[in-house]
Structure 1
Amino acid sequence: MYFSTYSNFDSHPEALGVRMLRYINRPQAITKKRQWLAQLSGMGDRCSTDLADDPDDPRISKQRPQIDFTIEWIYEIDLDRNIFHINGIPFFSLEYLPDPYAFIRHISKDHYGNVACAPACHPGHKYEKPVPPSVHDSDLATYQSLACTGAHMDLSDLLAISDALTPGEHVRVSLLETMIGQCMIRSDTASLIYGLGLVSSHDQLTDDEWLTACTMANFAFVPQMFGTHISHPQLNRKEFTWVREDTVVCISTHLDDEGCLQASISRLIDAILEEKDNPGDYFGVAFSVYHCAIVKVVKDVHITTFSHTTPFKFLPSFYADSPSTPGITAIARLGNRVDQALFVRIAEIYQTSEDNWHTYQQKSLPQGIDDTLPKISCKELPTELWREVALHLQSSDLIAFGLVSDLCREAATMVLRYPHVCGYRLVAVAKERPQCLLHSGEYRFLHNACFSAAQAGIPVDVLVGSESQNNIISRIKGDTHGIMKRLSAEDLARMDSQCGPCSSSLGLLV
């Protein structure tokens, strides 16, 4: 429950911020506030009615106040957690507040442009994060009862892949870094991210916090097609979210604590064994935004074994100098595994103004035939040549092309494994960052990335990111004609309404 009052005067830290600081620093101020809050809570619904009739009393809301065009600064006294928040970001412990001069000095901007507590702030003044929850023996029963073939493994050992990234993996990692960076430059999402670090257990997450975390994890597993005609399914809150036929995600907390890590892995194994009857290899992702861990479950006819990685750091620091983290790399590489259902998944999310998946089926398949593809025998045209044909098609035509025959579907699927943004197939990460991302002190490279791409066989360099935020319009190396087509954020994936509050709104420069 939130009690808020609106200030009609200067709300900047030097004015309203310092007044709030001095107010809460008065002797017994916190104790009196707790008593006042207890009295109001005891009034129940009558409290809201009485306060609403008195313009001098605070407004009561279950929703946290948000910054908007009429509100520039919000100072929040969190009596539940003993934290002084500024603009939804936790700053100071209520018990060890700084003096007014240090208070103003420590209000800074992070590398993503959000209000943040300066790194130089004395640790004694900073808010305290909750300790990991107690883990009961029953929470570890599955972990301890099954055969563990490897703990705290490197991802390359778990997946039996090379330590070095392939060019395709490099693209997916860089794109995921950009998407996570796009989440972090949004002040509302930054507040939710900080909130994820203030809960003791996954059961305490609000719906928005859960959706933020699950969306960030899901970025790596949705078909890598983003644009105005792509409609990714919305996420609904569940304890376990199956992001692929063989991969499940659960939102956790405190994965850097061994007990919490093992408890989360136990939950994932239980979910896999309950959902899947067939023998095979299955994967689970424990995800807390701050860390992630991957478990591999090998289900045989006679025995089930598991192995898991170390908890990787996922979220970059808000004061990061690089967008890369081991966790982002791990999740992107896991999402890059071959997906046998990729073509069907992309067909289901692809929409055009006139046609959709069912219309494609009706147009492409003879009457009376379900999804059986016509058999075309073309010995003189191997898969490699069909792939060359697919590489010269618009991304919007690949679905229709893949419905022609099995060979065409195989070729189309090869091309669809590349990430596609607004019809541009991202082929490789650019060897050099464009100058527009290297302006001193702006850290644009944390939420933008440059790729070598192609559209209908024509090579081009593209800049993916939030160009509209800073009006980035500059020539990208390789644009031989010196012509740049500027696409608005709406031309990229409309992820805001489809995937959650932290979804990326990306712009594109080509």
Structure 2
Amino acid sequence: MVETIPLDPSAYKEWLDKMRAIYDRLLRRAGKIEEESDEDDEEWHYRDFTADDVDVEEVEIKDTRVLPDTMTVYVYEIDLDDEVFWVNGMPLFRLDCMPTAEVFLEVLSKDHYGHFATKVSMPSEHAYRIAAPAQPPSEQDLSSYESLQGSTNVGTDIHELLGVAKQPSPADRVRIRLYEIIAGLSMSSFQFVSRLLASQIAPSAPSTIPPFITATAKFMVFRAFLPMAFHPDIALSSEKWIEELERGRRGEGERMLWLRPDVCFSAGFYLEHDEHLRAAVGRMVREIHRASKNKKNGVVYGIICSLFHCVIVRVQLDSGSGGSFQHTPALQFLPFRFAESPSTPGITALLRLASKYDDLLSETVLSKSPFKSKPGASQVPASTYIDRLPAKPVARIAAFIPNLMTLLAFASLNPTTAAQANHELSFPFIGDHHLLQASDPDNGDRALARGKFVAMDARGRTRTVRVQGMGPDDTMYDTKQRFGSECYSVFTYTPNPRRAAFVLQAEPSLY
């Protein structure tokens, strides 16, 4: 079928029109699209074709892209809408400039996550095209940016913008490394990457961000602000929490999600284009001022994320001068498909911003644990002997508690124990393993979706553990059968969590 695609531009255009007409007709027969009202025009489209051109009995119409599974090893797709040739859910070639069979086999390769891709040596004329923005950005959004341009500082050093130390703390290093594994786990899923790349191919208006980008960016950004406590008795589901935050929030500010009283999120797209980046920042700054009109002074942070890039915005509220803002450039967020390292500036910036709110860790985890306050119960804990201890001994006690549930029981005693437990909760828990230090990857090991950590188990023993995970591509296996019972959900990116759950597992390393 590929050999029937003409190489001559005029012949290709005629072929494309005819092929689109044939399949439109099949869709109308199946009731997927409405019949055309102009019968003469329809007859003109199909006059050169008979029923033998496509055997309707052999055509199966699906509503989603077909991907390989246990019974289908290869799926080849001729995309007549966006004029792209796909292999196993990955876009590879321009349909109007397909390579010869020899070149096809020569350049076909796989990326560092195991998905089909083309080699760098492939002639550029065969590469599929990434769509440019369909429309210019909003003039109102650009005006919002330009109105305060004199007091902005683009490309500010991220540490200065966030007000954090140049060097991350030991807890920051562990959390950044674990988040890199979560990002790598997403990139290892061909379902995830297929939808991610598809969002780049079909042009969209700046105000119409692909729903997949909006939903997934929201989950991934919010995941950074949740404590990294993965445990069967802790209900830290990003989806449920986001639903709670969004419940009842409708109207002008609904494009922004407030993760904290002074931190908001908005999905973005085309952030690599300067004018679209400025428009996205301008829109966020305008809406921050609108939402904070009763707040005379202070700092509000905004995060704009497209999954490909993220931008951190710092808005200084000032009732006297009207305020000012600063923002980073578009920072790479998810790793490239041929990444040698799991680290990206966007992930690091996001996790450093989230770490500014570590004093809320105990409160957050306790609110989703068996130790949360019962409705109607007194908010003042009963007095205990620990109330008489200074903060330092309480912190030492917390450091010797290796089990997450015991630590939470300790944190629930009074405000002092809760405050001192924050430090221990800043280091991730995966089941019975308390991750204390990220180990360097082995020589020659990119470790894009897995990693080793020094951890303490529930009995207080220090050991090296391996952290890995699985995603929706592995649903052919029973999760517990493959990983045992000790695997914990990270987040999902579709409404069906059974098929789209990303889970993590920590187990003692054999090496």
Place the TM-score, normalised by the shorter chain, in its bin: 0.7 to 0.9
Contact kept, 8 Å, 2:264 with 2:303, in 1: the verdict is yes
Counterpart in 2 of 1:6? none
Match of residue 40 from structure 2: none
Q: Could you tell which deviates more after superposition, 29-38 or 134-143?
A: 29-38
Give the equivalent residue in structure 2 for 1:155. 158
Alignment match, 1:458: 461
SS at match of 1:307: strand
Tell me whether 1:139 sits opposite 2:141 in the alignment: yes
Given residue 108 of structure 1, which amino acid in structure 2 is its aligned partner? S
1:282 aligns with 2:300: yes
Find the counterpart in structure 2 of residue 119 from structure 1. 120
Give the equivalent residue in structure 1 for 2:45: none
Moved more, 139-148 or 68-77: 139-148
Using structure 1 for the length normalisation, give the TM-score.
Answer: 0.80
Residue in 1 that maps onto 2:227? 223
RMSD: 3.3
* 1:12 alignment counterpart: none
Distance apart, 1:498 and its partner CA: 8.2
Find the aligned partners of 1:467 and 1:257 in 2 and give their Cα distance: 34
Q: Any conservation in 2 of the 1:156–1:162 contact (CA below 8 Å)?
A: yes
User: Aligned letter for 2:312?
Assistant: I
Structure 1 spans left out of the alignment, 5+ residues: 1-19, 351-355, 470-485
Counterpart CA distance in 1 for 2:218 and 2:200 is 15
The question of whether the paired residues in 2 share the 8 Å contact of 1:297 and 1:305 is answered with yes
1:473 counterpart residue number:
none
SS of residue in 1 equivalent to 2:356:
coil
Rate the CA distance shift 1:257–1:418 in 2: closer, same or farther, 3 A.
same
Label 1:136 to 1:489 Cα distance change in 2 as closer, same or farther (>3 A).
farther
1:491 counterpart letter in structure 2: E
Does the aligned pair in 2 maintain the 1:426–1:454 contact within 8 Å? yes
Aligned counterpart, 1:415: 424
Asked if the contact 1:48/1:60 (under 8 Å) is kept, the reply is no
Query: Cα offset for 1:103?
Result: 1.3
Q: Counterparts of 1:70 and 1:101 in 2: how far apart (Å)?
A: 27
**Structure 2 partner of 1:4:** none
Instruction: Give the Cα separation in 1 of the matches to 2:143 and 2:384.
Output: 53
1:194 to 197, 201, 205: 197
- 1:21 is aligned to 2:37: no
How many percent identity over aligned positions? Answer: 26
TM-score, normalization by structure 2? 0.80
Q: 1:384 aligns with which of 392, 409, 430?
A: 392
**Contact in 1 for aligned 2:185/2:470 (Cα 8 Å):** no
Does the C-alpha gap of structure 1 residues 374 and 46 become closer, same or farther in structure 2, counting only changes over 3 Å? Answer: closer
Secondary structure of the residue aligned to 2:2 is helix
Check 1:73–1:253 CA distance in 2 against 1; reply closer, same or farther (3 A cut): same
**Paired position in structure 1 for 2:19:** 33
Shift of 1:334: 1.2
Shift of 1:505: 2.4
Map 1:396-411 to 2 at 5 A: 396-411=405-420
CA distance in 1, matches of 2:494, 2:271: 24
1:66 aligns with 2:84: no
CA contact (8 A) 1:143 1:266 kept: yes
Measured at CA, do residues 497 and 178 of structure 1 come closer, stay the same or move farther in structure 2, by a change above 3 Å? Answer: closer
1:329 corresponds to which residue? 348
Distance 1:210 1:73, change over 3 A: farther
- Structure 1 residues 467, 68: closer, same or farther in 2, change over 3 A? closer
Within a 5 Å distance, the mapping from 1:428-443 to structure 2 comes to 428-430=437-439, 432-434=440-442, 438=443, 443=445
Q: Of 488, 492, 495, which aligns to 2:487?
A: 492
Q: Which residue identity does 2:339 align to in structure 1?
A: A
- Describe the SS at the equivalent of 2:226: coil
Q: In structure 2, the residue corresponding to 1:80 is in which secondary structure? A: coil
Instruction: Judge which range, 213-222 or 80-89, deviates more.
Output: 213-222
The aligned amino acid for 2:229 is M
C-alpha distance in 2, partners of 1:468/1:241?
26
Distance in 2, Cα, partners of 1:44 & 1:221: 46
Distance 1:173 1:245, change over 3 A: same
- Whichever residue aligns with residue 350 of structure 2, its letter is I
Partner of residue 185 from structure 1, selected from 180, 183, 188 = 188
Look up the equivalent residue of 2:222 and give its one-letter code: N
How do residues 150-299 of structure 1 correspond to structure 2 at under 5 angstroms? 150-198=153-201, 199-201=203-205, 203-231=207-235, 232-234=237-239, 235=242, 239-276=255-292, 277-278=294-295, 279-299=297-317
**1:166 partner letter:** S
Alignment-derived partner of residue 449 in structure 1: 451
Does residue 424 of the first structure (1) align with residue 422 of the second (2)? Answer: no
Letter aligned with residue 391 of structure 2: T
Q: How far did 1:206 drift?
A: 4.5
Aligned to 2:92, what secondary structure does the other structure show?
A: strand
Deviation of 1:375 after TM superposition, in Å, equals 5.5
Going from structure 1 to structure 2, the CA distance change for 1:214 and 1:490 (only over 3 Å counts) comes to: farther
Could you say what secondary structure the match of 1:151 adopts?
coil
